[in-house]
Amino acid sequence: MSCKDPTGRGHSAAPRSIQAEDDRDQAAVLAYVLALHPTCLSVPDLVREVSAGATEFEGTDRIERAVRDLVGSGLLHSASGLVTPTHAALRAYALLEG
């Protein structure tokens, strides 16, 4: 019986965790929104721009989840369908960028 790795990554490569992928997506969305500030985007426009125009469900759902989770964390607002950074996110960005 063969014990081949069906992913083709070999045994030494650790599979990426879902949490690591979610963190990466959230970081990308937050960085994009902060870079655009004070310009605001709608959620569909943000999804399209951050996902590089992906149209399949998986690509768009990842970005929508990232927005939802960042809103829940208090780093983004999504009022009236527009996504904006919170004061806390802007302050942290200012401190980190120095």
| Per-residue pLDDT reduced to its tens digit, 16-72 | 799 999 999 999 999 999 999 999 999 999 998 998 867 778 778 999 999 999 999
User: 96 or 9: whose pLDDT is higher?
Assistant: 96
H runs (alpha helix) in the chain: 18-36, 43-50, 57-72, 87-97
